[in-house]
Structure 1
Amino acid sequence: MSAIRDRLVDMHLRGHRRDVHGIRSENEMAPETRRDAAVLIAVTERAEEDGPGPGVFLIERPAKMRNHGGQVALPGGAIDPGENAVQAALREAHEEIALPLSAVHVIGPTDRYVTGTGFSITPILATVSPNLKLRANPAEVDEWFEAPLSHLLDPASWSTRSLFYRGRDRQFLETHWDGHHIWGATAGIFANLAMRLGWEGWD
């Protein structure tokens, strides 16, 4: 096992044995009927001393999409009948960016995130081999990119913004990486992961 996989396996195990307060969700804004979905948090097994260190694969949705068009997201989507969250996350990552399943080492699920649009998302934490040759599926993905894990889990990287949505002010996190705007559910999932893992700087 790689050093980052060892570290994440240990942090994931210890983190899910303890109570964590302040886990984010949009549950109060979501419709009563929700659709189960899953996303893959794929961390590259790159040593921290090698350039940017471990990264996470993210995608940018085509602007023409009806739901979340133009937004940055984790690979993933709705869970099909007969699937569990791990199977759905892996299938979607393979369909969206041609992620080879043989390169993925699943660690496990983490805190569910309910979106205001009615998706109940289970994030699946995993590590993947570095330097993979991925390919974006143009029907679902404009482009894929890798952002440093250290940036995504560092509270100093994030700022809080608000917008008026469905008759109320909504607070959300946002950050930027290499020209990409990361916010909304994706931001909330990373904040929850950092808190669950006990990443330094998160309360």
Structure 2
Amino acid sequence: MTLRDQLEKALVQGHENDLDHLLYNERDHIDDQKVLRDAAVLIAVTDRPNPGVIFVQRPQHMRNHPGQVAFPGGKIDPGDTDAIDAALREAHEEVALDRSHVDIIGMTDRFQSGSGYNIQPVLSVIPPDLPFVADPSEVESWFEAPLDFLFDPKNRTVHEGTWNGRKRHYYEIYWQDYRIWGITAGILNNLEKRLGWAS
């Protein structure tokens, strides 16, 4: 069975059951009157014996989420046909990932962020070792982290902090010198529960 087949089967089966009581997002930290902005991110899994996931690190000069690790992605623009189109566009803009290399598997649980975004993660498979080129205006660097490491609960810790005057809990994962936390770690936590691939 190919990696794509494995991921597709796990994603479909994982969504057959209601796991809302297990999933975490930031909806409790969102002002009820706030209109959420639609966004999409691409979870690009590399097709290799030990699959990895592609991440970008935002530059420190960015207004939103400076220096944070994220999946390629961003706001859904009026010209985008849907969340998939937006995720593919953003990935191409940020790291020159050609959409012809991306095999879309499907969409998984939306993540509502306390910063006001309704984020649609798009799961996909890409060939390994593509020649990514980071756009310096949006991406400081990019890296690949092993899927097994990211999905192992032993590598994911829960922390408490205060944001906008409210206490919030968030996940944190360290891979080498990179800190994966907040929204991105939350999406990974949700996806691991859907796929059931915990080590």
Asked if these proteins are the same fold (TM beyond 0.5), I'd say yes
Equivalent in the alignment of 2:105: 107
Percent identity over paired residues? 49
Q: Does residue 11 in structure 1 map to residue 7 in structure 2?
A: no
Query: Equivalences for 1:39-188 in 2 at 5 Å?
Result: 39-47=41-49, 53-83=50-80, 84-188=82-186
List per-residue Cα deviations over 1:41-78 (Å, max 9, x = no partner).
0000001xxxxx10000000001111000000000000
In 1, the alpha carbon distance for the partners of 2:156 and 2:16 equals 26
Q: Which runs of 5+ in 2 are unaligned?
A: none
Cα offset, 1:82, TM superposition: 4.3
Question: How many residues in Structure 1 have an aligned counterpart in Structure 2?
Answer: 195
In 2, the alpha carbon distance for the partners of 1:77 and 1:10 equals 27
In 2, the alpha carbon distance for the partners of 1:125 and 1:73 equals 14
Output the aligned Cα RMSD.
1.2
Cα offset, 1:10, TM superposition: 0.5
In 2, the alpha carbon distance for the partners of 1:19 and 1:169 equals 27
Aligned amino acid, residue 47 of structure 2: E
Q: Does residue 36 in structure 1 map to residue 38 in structure 2?
A: yes
Q: Does residue 24 in structure 1 map to residue 24 in structure 2?
A: yes
List per-residue Cα deviations over 1:105-163 (Å, max 9, x = no partner).
00010000011110100000000011100000001000000011111111111111111
TM-score normalized by structure 2?
Answer: 0.95
Cα offset, 1:168, TM superposition: 2.4
